[in-house]
Amino acid sequence: MIKDITVNAIRREGVGKGPARRLRARGMIPASVYGEGEASVPVAVNAKELASLLRSETGHNTIFKLSIPGLDELANVIIKDWQTDPVKGRLLHADLMRLSMTVVTRVSVPIVVVGEPVGVKLEGGILEINLREVEIECLPGDIPSTVEVDVTDLHLGKHVSVVDLKVDRAKVKVLTSEDQIVAGVLAPRLVEEVAPAAAEAGEPAAAEPEVIKKGKTEEGAE
C-alpha cells in the first residue's frame, strides 16, 4: 500500500552500541537502506515516525518515500525487518528495502479472519486459527494491506485453506501452499487433546500476533 509520506533520514557514521545509543537518546534509530542493486546505506531515522508506520493499517508493507542527504531522488521503501527492545517494546533498528514500482516483489501479508462460524455459534465448536500471514508476490502498488478469509459457513470439523483466501489472483501470486489450513472449527475435546500432544512433542505454542513483532534484543542491534 503506497502512502504519501516522506521520512527524512540522515547519514550516520560509526557502528556499535555507543553510537546507536546516542542516536536513540535523540529519538532516532539506526537503519540500513538496501536493494535495487545499490550499495547499502547506513542512515538514522525518527523512531516515532517508523513506529507509527508499523502500527498503521498497512503495517510493515507500507510503501513510503525516504529522503537521504546526497541523493537527488526520493527512494520508495518498505520496512523489511526491524528489531525491538523485548522489555520496553521500543524500536532499536530497521532495515529499509528500496522498491521499483515496476518490479515484482515478495512480501508477507496478515490474514484477517472474518465472520462467526456456524460451527461455533450453533454446534459448540471452537475456532482454531493456524495461519496468520501469507506470502505473496506482486507489484508494489498491488500489495494488499490484509488478505481476508470468511469462516461464517464453517461447520464443526470443517476448515478453510489458503486456496480460499480472497485475493486478486490476476495481480497477486500466492506463494504459500494452497493446501495449508488457515482456520478450522474443532470440537472442544479435540482442542484439549491437541494441546498436550504438542507439548509432549516439544512444539512451541502458537504466538499471538503483535503490532511490532520482531523481538531481537538490544545486544544484537547496532
For residue 101, the 8-state DSSP code is T
Domain boundary among 52, 70, 99: 99
Helix ranges, 79-163 (H): 118-121
Map residue 126 onto helix, strand or coil.
strand
DSSP 53-68: HHTSTTGGG-EEEEE-
Specify if 95 maps to a domain: yes
Do residues 93 and 111 share a domain? Answer: no
Domain boundary among 99, 131, 160: 99
Do residues 77 and 116 share a domain? Answer: no
Instruction: Give pLDDT, residue 171.
Output: 95
For residue 140, the 8-state DSSP code is G
Instruction: Give pLDDT, residue 15.
Output: 72
Region of residue 204 (phi > 0: left; psi between -120 and 50: alpha; otherwise: beta): beta
Do residues 58 and 138 share a domain? Answer: no
CATH code, domain carrying 52: 2.40.240.10
Q: How many domains does the chain have?
A: 2
Q: How far is CA 75 from the centre of its chain?
A: 21
Map residue 80 onto helix, strand or coil.
strand
Q: Which three cell numbers stand for residue 125?
A: 465448536
Gap between the Cα atoms of 213 and 103, Å rounded: 27
Quote the Cα angle for 36-37-41, to 5°: 85
What's the residue count for the chain? 222
Please give the residue range of the domain that contains residue 25.
Answer: 2-99
Specify if 219 maps to a domain: no
Instruction: Give pLDDT, residue 217.
Output: 44
Mean pLDDT by 10 residues, the chain (222 residues): 83 79 89 88 93 90 90 86 90 93 93 94 94 96 92 95 93 96 88 58 48 43 54
Map residue 161 onto helix, strand or coil.
strand
Specify if 137 maps to a domain: yes
Specify if 207 maps to a domain: no
Do residues 22 and 77 share a domain? Answer: yes
Specify if 215 maps to a domain: no
Do residues 65 and 139 share a domain? Answer: no
* pTM for this predicted structure: 0.72
Do residues 11 and 77 share a domain? Answer: yes
Gap between the Cα atoms of 92 and 220, Å rounded: 10
Do residues 93 and 43 share a domain? Answer: yes
Specify if 206 maps to a domain: no
Instruction: Give pLDDT, residue 212.
Output: 39
Q: Give just the sign of the alpha carbon dihedral 82, 85, 87, 89.
A: negative
Domain boundary among 41, 66, 99: 99
Do residues 27 and 88 share a domain? Answer: yes
CATH code, domain carrying 124: 2.170.120.20
